Amino acid sequence: MFVLELTYTAPLERVDAALQDHVEWLDKEYAAGHFIASGRKNPRNGGVILAAGIDRAAVEKITAADPFVVAGVCEYRITEFVATKTAPALEGYREQPPS
Protein backbone atom coordinates (compact mmCIF):
# COMPACT_ATOMS: atom_id res chain seq x y z
CA MET A 1 0.00 0.00 0.00
CA PHE A 2 1.15 3.55 -0.62
CA VAL A 3 0.58 6.97 0.87
CA LEU A 4 0.96 9.53 -1.91
CA GLU A 5 1.47 12.99 -0.46
CA LEU A 6 1.10 15.90 -2.86
CA THR A 7 2.65 19.25 -2.02
CA TYR A 8 1.69 22.25 -4.14
CA THR A 9 4.63 24.05 -5.69
CA ALA A 10 2.64 26.83 -7.35
CA PRO A 11 -0.01 29.36 -6.29
CA LEU A 12 -3.55 28.03 -5.78
CA GLU A 13 -4.74 29.85 -8.91
CA ARG A 14 -2.50 27.58 -11.01
CA VAL A 15 -3.55 24.52 -9.00
CA ASP A 16 -7.22 25.36 -9.53
CA ALA A 17 -6.63 25.78 -13.28
CA ALA A 18 -5.56 22.10 -13.43
CA LEU A 19 -8.10 20.83 -10.88
CA GLN A 20 -10.75 19.48 -13.27
CA ASP A 21 -8.16 17.44 -15.17
CA HIS A 22 -6.74 16.19 -11.86
CA VAL A 23 -10.22 15.07 -10.71
CA GLU A 24 -10.76 13.21 -14.00
CA TRP A 25 -7.36 11.52 -13.54
CA LEU A 26 -8.37 10.54 -9.98
CA ASP A 27 -11.65 9.08 -11.29
CA LYS A 28 -9.73 6.99 -13.83
CA GLU A 29 -7.40 5.61 -11.15
CA TYR A 30 -10.33 4.83 -8.82
CA ALA A 31 -12.07 2.99 -11.69
CA ALA A 32 -8.87 1.00 -12.30
CA GLY A 33 -8.88 -0.02 -8.61
CA HIS A 34 -5.59 1.72 -7.80
CA PHE A 35 -6.86 4.37 -5.37
CA ILE A 36 -8.93 3.76 -2.24
CA ALA A 37 -9.09 7.24 -0.67
CA SER A 38 -7.99 10.80 -1.43
CA GLY A 39 -8.50 14.37 -0.35
CA ARG A 40 -7.06 17.82 0.28
CA LYS A 41 -4.73 18.53 3.16
CA ASN A 42 -5.81 21.10 5.71
CA PRO A 43 -4.45 23.74 5.32
CA ARG A 44 -4.82 23.46 1.55
CA ASN A 45 -1.20 23.07 0.55
CA GLY A 46 -1.54 19.69 -1.16
CA GLY A 47 -3.36 16.41 -0.83
CA VAL A 48 -3.11 12.76 0.14
CA ILE A 49 -4.00 9.63 -1.83
CA LEU A 50 -4.04 6.02 -0.57
CA ALA A 51 -3.13 3.55 -3.30
CA ALA A 52 -3.17 -0.25 -3.18
CA GLY A 53 -2.82 -3.32 -5.36
CA ILE A 54 0.06 -2.02 -7.46
CA ASP A 55 3.84 -1.91 -7.19
CA ARG A 56 6.11 1.09 -6.77
CA ALA A 57 7.00 1.30 -10.47
CA ALA A 58 3.29 1.52 -11.32
CA VAL A 59 2.74 4.16 -8.63
CA GLU A 60 5.59 6.24 -10.01
CA LYS A 61 4.18 5.98 -13.55
CA ILE A 62 0.67 6.88 -12.36
CA THR A 63 1.81 9.91 -10.34
CA ALA A 64 3.95 11.16 -13.24
CA ALA A 65 0.76 11.27 -15.33
CA ASP A 66 -1.16 13.36 -12.78
CA PRO A 67 -2.22 16.60 -14.52
CA PHE A 68 -0.95 18.50 -11.48
CA VAL A 69 2.55 17.09 -12.15
CA VAL A 70 2.24 17.71 -15.90
CA ALA A 71 1.22 21.33 -15.17
CA GLY A 72 4.15 21.70 -12.75
CA VAL A 73 1.99 22.62 -9.75
CA CYS A 74 2.81 19.78 -7.34
CA GLU A 75 5.39 17.23 -6.37
CA TYR A 76 4.84 13.82 -4.79
CA ARG A 77 6.30 12.07 -1.79
CA ILE A 78 5.63 8.33 -2.07
CA THR A 79 5.64 6.21 1.10
CA GLU A 80 5.17 2.46 0.87
CA PHE A 81 3.91 0.52 3.88
CA VAL A 82 2.54 -2.91 4.73
CA ALA A 83 -1.07 -2.60 5.95
CA THR A 84 -1.12 -5.43 8.48
CA LYS A 85 -4.11 -4.01 10.37
CA THR A 86 -7.19 -2.29 8.93
CA ALA A 87 -10.73 -1.34 9.79
CA PRO A 88 -13.16 -4.18 9.01
CA ALA A 89 -14.40 -2.38 5.89
CA LEU A 90 -10.83 -2.42 4.50
CA GLU A 91 -10.12 -6.05 5.34
CA GLY A 92 -9.48 -6.86 1.67
CA TYR A 93 -6.44 -4.56 1.75
CA ARG A 94 -4.68 -6.25 4.68
CA GLU A 95 -1.20 -7.49 3.92
CA GLN A 96 1.27 -9.90 5.42
CA PRO A 97 4.72 -8.62 6.36
CA PRO A 98 7.47 -9.88 4.07
CA SER A 99 9.29 -12.97 5.29
The pTM (predicted TM-score) of the whole model is: 0.94
Q: E strands, the chain, where?
A: 2-8, 35-40, 46-51, 74-80
Distances (CA, A) of 41 to 8, 75, 79: 10, 14, 16
d(CA 79, CA 88): 23
What is the rounded end-to-end Cα distance, in angstroms, of the chain? 17
- Write out the chain's pLDDT in tens, 99 residues: 999 999 999 999 999 999 999 999 999 999 999 999 999 999 999 999 999 999 999 999 999 999 999 999 999 999 999 999 999 999 999 998 887
Beta bridge partners of 80: 2
